[in-house]
Structure 1
Amino acid sequence: MPSITLVEGIGVSGDAHAGTTVQHRSRVARDPSAPNLRQVHLIHGELFEHLDEVGFNVEPGSLGDNITTRGVDLLELPVGTRLRIGEATVIVTGLRNPCRQIDDLQPGLMKRLVSKDDDGHVRRLAGVMGIVARGGVVRPGDPIAVELPPLPHHPLTTV
């Protein structure tokens, strides 16, 4: 059975984005000492079903996601939510802001992941990012416990 190992304060063991400071090229160019708030990328599995319904064949992992969830409304969680998954705990830091390279996977995909709603607000559907608060092994089918932070809650913004 496949699994991933989350390392406290670092991210996914062996992942290119693992580290205490930013790892993404554009972010390193701006400030290489900035904390890495993007150690773990989680996507709701329901997104893959939605994309399939509108003609895109996207599999878990193909958008850079490390963990695929089911039944958790990731996009509506407040900043600081703790997700206990398997042996590990991930603290949600914000929304993933996908880059235009997504269209290299399938032309037009970016417009399905970032769009505007009827009120003109930008909707980002490409999942959430988090940091590893407690390391451990995560396996397919592990339950996810959601622990909301103390009030007041702050909505997710891009990180």
Structure 2
Amino acid sequence: MTDATRGPRVVSVSRAPEHDFSKAVVPNIRLIEGIGVEGDAHAGATTQHRYLLRKDPGRPNLTQVHLLHSELFGELVDRGFDVAAGELGENVTTAGLDILTLPLGTRLHLGADAVVEVTGLRSPCKLINGLRAGLMKALVSKGPDGEVLRESGIMSVVVAGGEVRAGDHIRVELPAEPHVALGVV
């Protein structure tokens, strides 16, 4: 069975209890409504991102769950970077879904019960170059019209909790039109 016939799915899940750049791949994660990934350093109703905490500690946490498309790994290999699931800090690695083109407010049903709502694009910080020198430039570039292109995944909030594991199907629920393109969160 080819990837196209299997439909969008979860290929890996990761979490890290500390603010490390990469996250350990685990058999499953539990999403908690309004909080994020149980046991992950970024879980919380208010922002847990270190930079955002310094800037506005009471800010709502729009970065509870980070999703990244596994197709990016092959593209990065072509650019000279060998990166695996969890290494870019994502909680959910997907396949068969062009997550970067989803509109704001899209709901992704992960497995039997969990639902996340897309809040925006992830903009990687310079710490990514500590993983692989030059990786930031490979993930943030300029398009033909001079627009900034960010390829390091999307962020979301948990609207329905549940367990997520590799192999789970992803069902996409688009918001009402007009659709709004993703900005950086």
TM-score (norm 1): 0.98
**Partner residue, 1:116:** 142
Q: Cα distance, 1:53 vs. partner?
A: 1.7
Following the alignment from structure 1 to structure 2, what is the Cα–Cα distance between the partners of residues 23 and 54? 32
Q: Cα distance, 1:35 vs. partner?
A: 0.2
**Partner residue, 1:9:** 34
**5+ residue gaps in structure 1?**
none
Equivalent of residue 169 in structure 2, options 143, 147, 151: 143
Give SS of 2:120's match. strand
Following the alignment from structure 1 to structure 2, what is the Cα–Cα distance between the partners of residues 53 and 30? 37
Following the alignment from structure 1 to structure 2, what is the Cα–Cα distance between the partners of residues 53 and 118? 20
For 2:69, give the aligned amino acid.
H
Q: Cα distance, 1:83 vs. partner?
A: 0.1
Equivalent of residue 71 in structure 2, options 43, 46, 57: 46
Tell me how many residue pairs correspond in the alignment: 159
Q: 1:3-43, CA deviations, whole angstroms, 9 ceiling, x for partnerless residues?
A: 11101100001000000000111111111111000000000
Equivalent of residue 46 in structure 2, options 6, 18, 21: 21
**Partner residue, 1:63:** 88
Following the alignment from structure 1 to structure 2, what is the Cα–Cα distance between the partners of residues 19 and 90? 14
Following the alignment from structure 2 to structure 1, what is the Cα–Cα distance between the partners of residues 143 and 103? 20
Q: Cα distance, 1:82 vs. partner?
A: 0.2
Indicate whether 1:105 and 2:128 are aligned: no
* CA RMSD between the two structures: 0.9
Q: Moved runs in structure 1, 4+ residues, more than 4 A?
A: none
Following the alignment from structure 2 to structure 1, what is the Cα–Cα distance between the partners of residues 159 and 64? 10
Give SS of 1:103's match. helix
**5+ residue gaps in structure 2?**
1-25
**Partner residue, 1:129:** 155
**Partner residue, 1:91:** 117
Following the alignment from structure 1 to structure 2, what is the Cα–Cα distance between the partners of residues 4 and 133? 15
Percent sequence identity is 58
Following the alignment from structure 2 to structure 1, what is the Cα–Cα distance between the partners of residues 121 and 172? 17
Q: Cα distance, 1:97 vs. partner?
A: 0.6
Following the alignment from structure 1 to structure 2, what is the Cα–Cα distance between the partners of residues 90 and 51? 26
Indicate whether 1:153 and 2:179 are aligned: yes
